[in-house]
């Protein structure tokens, strides 16, 4: 008897931010909005690829971390990403990130203190295919580190992407949110 083993495959990581440090996250926890939000998008391997998986309710898992900007103290681990932003400002510009550029994740307690709910992508086509895993504790960065993202150029290569968060949505049905607390 052969049993296929399925899992979730990492597809891409992207970030959301706002014009000011007091708004930028797409999720709001007990009324608290953070400066930004990191999304790590994964698809269910049983569907073969991201686009196919996005058509299924159990197709995607997005892991989210909040970013909170405060003061001038640079987050050195997160700087492995933000220090490269000036090299990638122009449309189609490329920069290379160090292999340990996601090490800031190690400062999180990854096995607890996260919320889970079933919802949609926050960008078109807004597919209802996402199991969200949202960590409660934000990543703390300097004000300059979040400001660096606002200087990235938009698709016209002229305007800057000063904000890219989706407006808060009212769920059309009651959401079931699970919080993984202390064991």
- Give contact residues for Zn ion (rule: CB under 5 A): 39, 122
CB 112 within 8 A of CB 38: no
Shortest approach of Zn ion to residue 37 CB, angstroms?
Answer: 7
Q: Closest-CB residue for Zn ion?
A: 39
Of 6, 132, 120, 141, the C-alpha closest to 64 is: 132
Alpha-carbon Rg for the chain, nearest whole angstrom, is: 17
Shortest approach of Zn ion to residue 1 CB, angstroms?
Answer: 40
Shortest approach of Zn ion to residue 124 CB, angstroms?
Answer: 11
Shortest approach of Zn ion to residue 8 CB, angstroms?
Answer: 16
> In terms of CB distance, is 9 or 15 closer to Zn ion?
15
Q: Cα dihedral sign for 71, 72, 78, 83?
A: positive
> In terms of CB distance, is 35 or 122 closer to Zn ion?
122
CB 39 within 8 A of CB 69: no
> In terms of CB distance, is 120 or 174 closer to Zn ion?
120
> In terms of CB distance, is 136 or 165 closer to Zn ion?
165
Q: Is 71 exposed, middle or buried (0-12, 13-18, 19+ CB in 10 A)?
A: exposed
Q: CB under 8 Å to 128, separation ≥6 — which residues?
A: 57, 118, 119, 120
> In terms of CB distance, is 27 or 140 closer to Zn ion?
27
Shortest approach of Zn ion to residue 78 CB, angstroms?
Answer: 17
């Amino acid at each position: 008897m052969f049993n296929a083993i399925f899992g979730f495959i990492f597809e891409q990581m992207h970030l959301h931010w706002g014009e000011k440090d007091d708004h930028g996250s797409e999720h709001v926890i007990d009324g608290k909005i953070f400066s930004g939000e990191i999304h790590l998008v994964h698809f269910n391997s049983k569907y073969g690829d991201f686009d196919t998986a996005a058509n299924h309710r159990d197709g995607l898992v997005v892991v989210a971390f909040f970013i909170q900007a405060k003061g001038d103290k640079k987050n050195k681990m997160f700087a492995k990403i933000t220090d490269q932003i000036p090299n990638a400002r122009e449309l189609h510009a490329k920069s290379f990130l160090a292999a340990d550029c996601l090490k800031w994740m190690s400062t999180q307690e990854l096995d607890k203190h996260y919320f889970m709910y079933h919802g949609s992508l926050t960008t078109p086509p807004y597919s209802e295919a996402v199991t969200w895993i949202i960590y409660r504790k934000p990543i703390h960065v300097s004000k300059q580190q979040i400001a660096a993202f606002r200087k990235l150029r938009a698709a016209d290569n002229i305007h800057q992407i000063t904000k890219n968060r989706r407006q808060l949505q009212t769920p059309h049905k009651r959401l079931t949110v699970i919080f993984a607390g202390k064991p």
